[in-house]
Chain A
Amino acid sequence: MTQRLVVIGNGMAGARTVEEILARNGDFTVTMFGDEPYGNYNRIMLSNLLAGVESEEGIYLNDLAWYQDNGITLNAGVRIERIDRFAKMVYATDGTATPYDKLIIATGSYSWTPPIKNIHNPKRGFHQGVFAFRTLDDTRGMIRYARDHERAVVIGGGLLGLEAARGLQNHLSDVTLLHAMGHLMERQLDEKAGHMLQASVENKLGIKVITNAMTTEILGKDRVTGVKLADGTVIPCDVVVVAAGIRPSTQVAADSGLTVERGIVVDDQMRVQDEDDIYSVGECAQHRGNLYGLVAPLWDQAKVLADHITGRDTEAAYTGSKLSTKLKVAGIDVASMGLIAPETDDDEVIIYNEPKKGVYKQLIIREGALVGAILVGDNSKAASLIQSFDRVQALPEERAELLFDIGGPAGEVKPEDMPDDAQVCNCNGVSKGAICGVVNAGCKTVSGVMDKTRAGKGCGTCKPLVQRIVEWAAGGEAEEDPAASWYVPGVPMPKPELMAAIRKYELKSVSAVFDKLVAGGEHDAKSKMGLASLLKMMWADQYVDERDARFINDRVHGNIQKDGTFSVVPQMKGGVTTPAELKRIAEVAERYNVPMVKLTGGQRIDLLGIPKEQLPAIWADLDIPSGYAYAKSFRTVKTCVGSDFCRFGVGDSTALGIAIEERFQGLEGPGKMKLAVTGCPRNCAEAYVKDLGVVAIDGGKWEIYVGGAAGAHIRKGDLLATVDSAEEVIRLTGRFLQYYRENANWLERTYAWVPRVGIEKIRAVVVDDAEGIAEALDAAIEEAVQAYKDPWKERAVPATPGQFRTSLPLTVLPQVPVRS
């Protein structure tokens, strides 16, 4: 049966709650009463209206048509003065009485006026020239009045006062802000941050700020001429704006006999204490002793109330909100959450202070969790801090990462600030709008969105941003994807479990894994390559090679290019070649009309644009082993000339690089392995940014760095060990690579794996043999090394029928441009 729902209050809380109820198809006829003669508008935007950056039309949340369209009776400008909770009626000042079955009180707050002599005019309410800053009418009046005057005083140095002061500057030239407390925004900021904000407000905005300023009197009879402070100071002015705080509007509730303490007392369903059919939501509601003056808690309350009242989920419960704010206060970034000062001796306090720039950051950490943060002047880390604060996430060991982007790109982009057509994934050209479209269509997992749009599937650097956008578009939280921990998407197991199952059932081929470990035996194309790599690592020569499990590159041992041709890269260990080899490569290039000959970043020669069917012949003519420029495998060892010719080289990097490459050539792994050896710390071979880089240092020693990267991601490797001999370098290299092969996730490069596992742990296992597995690692890598066969020898007899047959359509494809 349709029930009568009456809502007292047509502000953000009341209207939002009705929206939520409508969204749940609640069976109600809705009548709303609002004090103000308008539809509902976004009160937060009044600051923007005052500052002239927003128009009145722009601040409406629902215009009058919305009420009509949804069959809501709106009594705008009608005030309810009494509720009869026994007769279930509300009485308005215009004499009307309206019955209800369910009642929602969302009367919000009013602007509080401190006791100041002469602030009221007995006939007119406020003295002419004195304004509150709470409603659209307040703002309109203020703008009208300020335009014709020159000097304004704002009373109140909280958020609203700062916004008012900033906005008034748009209309007059001289603004003074008075704050009764010792520093600005004392509820959100500690003293240092408050002073920092004050300095920015004064120096950057030119607003005069006086703290500890107790206003006692408004001066002037017919019009305001100034204000007087407790210490006798007189500040001449024409306009006074009072923004000293808000108080919950509870009068009607209290007059009607409802339980009111500081606010209207409600339970976890937002039901007024001891009432069955009366609810309260928003700033006027007191929940578990707390009053909330921010929108985020209000949204949560509205949802719970709507779930409950519509019967969608009668058990829905609001359990309170953790408060965080992230704003531009008067044009200056400010964010605050949780505690503003430590409470116990064990609370960790981390402070960064850069007064000249107006930057101040403070974190309070308790038992490894973020319990408070203040940011002034730089909000770039606010989003991630709020996330840590809300969800009590584990914090990075390097606490500085919480405050700064270390090594990464500066500044975190906020999804809400991005235009829809902003490109998020620069590899696959995916826009923010495309991601939101997929989320809105119901796909709310990050990996699901990545699959559908391919965003984040190129170089991968945009993944964190993709995640933030998905979370934002999903309304705060993305759904957990159970597959996130799986080694490959088609087999529901993380790597250690998967390896254990493979060993237990002796699964030696990719199809055997699917048949045994996937429900219904369903095969998955996107999982094949990862499984093939894993099985080959685990079983070495016992691995049953199914060619269809290989990616095309690994089937024909070349790297597929955008036009479907392949690139051929002969081995050139350590970047060293001979005139005879060079000649041979040149002759082959000429003979096959190779469209482009290019030096690679790994010190080799790339013959680009080779049709698949020509591969066997070109390999035969080259008669050089494969340089492995395609697989997820050991690629090259970049070297400098080292001690042979270099005046500075202290170690024979060339010889060591060649030795390493000879030993580990073709070794497959979860990701590419790019190495380097450099003959001195000048680093000509860029060894600090390789998966494994070796640096010769004075005294015949070598440093080994691991987990470096200089691709889409940039990271300096961590020092694994300093050793005395080339043999020791080779031994530790093999052990490290094997440990990586066995433990990293599929496609997880060392630059992600090393920091994930931690260099201390890796050093303990690889160098100090803390787990007693060093011998096993050495044996496993030896077995893998012995299994190496040059894949280009496959040329004589194809491994499968048509292995090298063209798959190129005869139609013209986009051609790779050829440079002359």
Chain B
Amino acid sequence: MTIAPIAKTILGPIDEIPFGEGRTYAVGPDMIAVFRLRDGSLRAVSAVCPHKGGPLADGQIDNKVVVCPLHLYAWDLSTGCSQSGQPPISVYPVRVDDGHIILGD
């Protein structure tokens, strides 16, 4: 697994992301998909599916994986590892602080 280092950034209010869904944020040159799990915790991964460039934030999730909406390949949200033989995606540290989404340590 690769946890990519990234500068601390406030992405916005947590309310922007409904439970169980994801939204994409532009952070410098990177596009990062942030998911709010049904248990309330956050996961941040690279927003682009390494298979055919699909928008991962549009994918469906559970508490473990995100499924790309284009061809339904799945990645582990915590490790970035593919469950279907694809290249891994990057994962980023992310947390909620005072109602805001904080990316990076």
Contacts and interface: CB of A to CB of B under 8 A. Distances in A.
A399 interface: no
Q: Which secondary structure characterizes the binding site on chain A?
A: loop
A584 to B, nearest CB: 29
A549 to B, nearest CB: 8
A453 B83 CA distance: 9
B60 interface: yes
Contacts of A453: 84-85
A548 to B, nearest CB: 3
Interface stretch (B22-30, B88-96, B97-105): B22-30
Contact of B63 (A428, A522, A551, A612): A522
Contacts of A357: none
Interface in A478-516: 490, 511
A806 to B, nearest CB: 7
B47 A523 contact: no
A560 B58 contact: yes
A807 B25 CA distance: 8
Interface string A791-812: 0000000001110011111110
A741 B6 CA distance: 48
A275 to B, nearest CB: 51
A225 B84 CA distance: 68
A551 B20 CA distance: 12
B67 A526 contact: yes
Given A547-B21, A564-B54, A808-B55, A522 B70 contact: no
B38 interface: yes
B81 interface: no
Contacts of B83: 451-452
A814 interface: yes
Contacts of A547: 18, 20-21
Contact of A810 (B18, B26, B54): B26
A30 B15 CA distance: 72
Nearest to A564: B55
Nearest to A434: B85
Given A453-B84, A807-B24, A802 B16 contact: yes
Interface size class of A (residues with CB under 8 A): 35 or more
B18 A548 contact: yes
A548 B17 contact: no
A548 B71 contact: no
Interface size class of B (residues with CB under 8 A): 35 or more
Contacts of B63: 522-523
Contact of A457 (B22, B59, B72, B85): B72
A809 B31 CA distance: 6
A727 interface: no
B49 to A, nearest CB: 10
Contact of A548 (B52, B61, B64, B70): B61
Contact of A562 (B18, B38, B52): B52
A523 B77 CA distance: 14
A631 to B, nearest CB: 14
A184 B56 CA distance: 64
B62 A523 contact: yes
B59 A552 contact: yes
Contacts of A806: 24, 55
Given A552-B69, A564-B54, A807-B55, A525 B74 contact: yes
B60 A800 contact: no
A814 B83 CA distance: 23
A432 interface: no
B81 to A, nearest CB: 13
A525 B20 CA distance: 10
B58 A552 contact: yes
A813 interface: yes
Nearest to A514: B62
Contacts of B23: 802, 805, 807
B24 to A, nearest CB: 5
B57 interface: yes
Q: Which of A428, A451, A802, A805 has the most CB of B within 10 A?
A: A802
Contacts of B52: 562, 814
Contacts of B53: 563-564, 809, 813-814
A528 interface: yes
A581 interface: no
Interface string A611-624: 01000000000000
A557 B71 CA distance: 18
B65 interface: yes
A724 interface: no
Contacts of A428: 71
Contacts of B67: 525-526
Contacts of A54: none
A476 to B, nearest CB: 25
Given A529-B60, A564-B55, A548 B20 contact: yes
A255 interface: no
A809 B66 contact: no
A546 interface: yes
A530 to B, nearest CB: 11
A768 interface: no
Interface string A561-577: 01110000000000000
A560 B17 contact: no
B66 A525 contact: yes
13 contacts: A453-B85, A523-B62, A523-B63, A525-B64, A551-B69, A560-B69, A564-B70, A801-B18, A807-B23, A807-B47, A807-B56, A807-B57, A809-B48
Given A564-B53, A806-B55, 14 more contacts: A453-B85, A525-B59, A525-B60, A525-B66, A526-B60, A526-B74, A548-B20, A548-B21, A551-B60, A552-B69, A560-B69, A564-B54, A808-B24, A810-B26
